[in-house]
Amino acid sequence: MTLLSSNHVTFSRSVTHLGVTPTLSPADQDLLRDYDNLFRIFYNYPPILDGINVADAYVQCKSLLALADQYDSLSVVGPRVDHHLLQFQSRLWRQIAKYPVSYLRLGYLARSKVIFQEALIHVVGQWPVGERSLRAALPDMVLDIIEDKVDELGETVGRVEGRLFRLSLTTARGDRVTPSNSYLEWLVVSLFRQWLADNTTPQPPAGRTGRNRSSSLLPPPVPCVGRAYRTLGSCSASAFLGHDECKRFLKLTPELYTRDNLRRFEKRMDELKGMARDVVRPLLGSGLELDMGGSGRASEGRASEGIGYLTCTTVGNRDLPWPVES
């Protein structure tokens, strides 16, 4: 082949490749998308983010915020991310319930009051689950807020629990029931307190007993007591310690088991349940947007059904890690 022919072939190949778009890796495509969205926001155009799948939208928003953080432009990008994600509404609330730690960081970076509040309530209720991830991903200022809210919740639970265990019945003369002045009513109180202890005390981890448990430095198990307090607040007479349970318990003392005594036992138990319902009221509210039972903000008595932890934490503007205009 002559030199002229060789050059002609090379030139032809070069011309052929001019129209071929270079293939980008998925990572490069994502980075290109983030830069495209960043400059769109800079020039006051809406970013192009997934509007159908909330999980994909989260990933895109997270990487966009990370890029914006590098260019010190979170104050510009954050509101756009906040606006986009809030359009998912109930789907977003369910995602936050599944991944509160991830959304707490996203809410912090985007300065999203709603997302941050929603995630914070879940984080506080489940504490110390996710503590290690939170300490690695968020500044001390946010950790201080979490710990303050955990302490507040613990104090509220402690006050309620103390009042519950002090609940009692009285005789016709107004005296507190005892084994000597009203044995049957005293049994009612005993059964109620036993149920309370069984359902509000976290179970110890399996395989840890005696000296090993007392000397361990591991954090205590997460108290999944929210469901127990919601049960106590239920208006349903059969929610706990219903007819069958009272009957089985009373049969343990055969000489006391009669129809009249059973009716009296159940009536007095209902009195205790009514008192308990009022006592647990401070724990039944929910600051969540999530409502597992229907539409709108979760309401008292049905807050986040299916969630085993408490969601009554309140988060105001003063609790946010950035200044908020009143």
Q: HEC profile for 135-192?
A: HHHCCHHHHHHHHHHHHHHHHHHHHHHHHHHHCCCECCCCCECCCCCCHHHHHHHHHH
Mean pLDDT score, 109-113: 97
Residues ≥6 apart with Cβ < 8 Å to 307: 97, 125, 226, 227, 292
The C-alpha torsion from 6 through 11 and 16 to 21, rounded to 10°, is 120
Q: pLDDT, tens digit, for every residue of 166-187?
A: 999 999 999 999 999 999 999 9
Minimal CA–CA distance to 67: which of 89, 37, 108, 91? 37
Q: Is 294 left (phi over 0), alpha (psi -120 to 50) or beta?
A: left
Mean pLDDT, the chain, whole residue set: 86
Q: Is the pLDDT of residue 160 over 80?
A: yes
Q: Check pLDDT > 70 for residue 196.
A: yes
In 3-state terms, what secondary structure has residue 257?
Answer: coil
Query: Six-digit token pair at 231?
Result: 């049960």
- The yes-or-no verdict on residue 120 having pLDDT over 80 is yes
| Residue 291 pLDDT | 73
Residue 11 has pLDDT above 60, yes or no: no
For position 60, what pLDDT does the model report? Answer: 98
> 134's torsion region: left (phi>0), alpha (psi -120 to 50) or beta?
alpha
Burial 166-195 (b: 16+ CB within 10 A, else e): ebbbeeeeeeebeeeebebbbbbbebbbeb
**DSSP readout, 192-224?**
HHHHHHHHHSPPPPTT--HHHHHH--SPPPP--
Higher pLDDT, 190 or 15: 190
Radius of gyration of the chain, Cα coordinates, nearest whole angstrom: 30
Give pLDDT tens digits for 48-93: 999 999 999 999 999 999 999 999 999 999 999 999 999 999 999 9
The single residue listed with the structure tokens 């002045």 is 181
Q: Residue 268's closest CA among 177, 194, 203?
A: 177
Q: Which band of pLDDT confidence, cut at 50, 70 and 90, is reported for residue 202?
A: low
Q: What is the DSSP string of 29-63?
A: HHHHHHHHHHHHHHTT------SS-HHHHHHHHHH
Task: Name the token pair of 70.
Answer: 């590098």
- Inform me whether the pLDDT recorded for 161 exceeds 90: yes
Q: pLDDT band at 6, cuts 50/70/90? A: low
| Predicted confidence band of residue 8 (pLDDT cuts 50, 70, 90) | low
Q: Where are the domains positioned within the chain?
A: 26-137
What tens digit of pLDDT does each residue of 131-156 get? 999 999 999 999 999 999 999 999 99
Whether the Cβ atoms of residue 59 and residue 32 lie closer than 8 Å to each other = no
Q: Give mean pLDDT, residues 214-238.
A: 70
Residue 180 phi/psi, 5-degree rounding, is: -90, -30
Q: What pTM does this model have?
A: 0.83
